[in-house]
Structure 1
Amino acid sequence: MNNPQRISNEQEILKLVSEGNSDAFRTLYMHYYDRLFQFAMMFLRSEPASEDVVEDVFYNLWKDRHTLTSIPNFHPYIYQAIRNGCLNILKSGYISKRGDIPETELQVSISTHTPLDELSYKELHKAVKQAIASLPERCRIIFKMAKEDEMSHREIAEALDVKVCTVERQILIAKAKIKEAIQPFLENI
Structure 2
Amino acid sequence: MIKPDTYSDRELLIALHCGDKKAFEALYFRYFAPLSSYAFKKLQDEYVVTELVQDVFVDIWKKRETLDTDGEVAGLLYAMMRNKALHELRARIIQSKHIEEFTQLHKNDTADVLTDGLYARQMEEKMLQAVNRLSPQCKNAFTLSRYEHLSYKEIAEKMSISVNTVEKHIGKALQHLRQEFQEYHLPVIILLGLMELAIQK
Considering only CA atoms, is the larger Rg found in Structure 1 or Structure 2?
A: 2
The TM tier, using the shorter chain, reads 0.3 to 0.5
Greater helix share, 1 or 2? 2
TM-score normalised by structure 1 residue count = 0.44
TM-score normalised by structure 2 residue count = 0.42
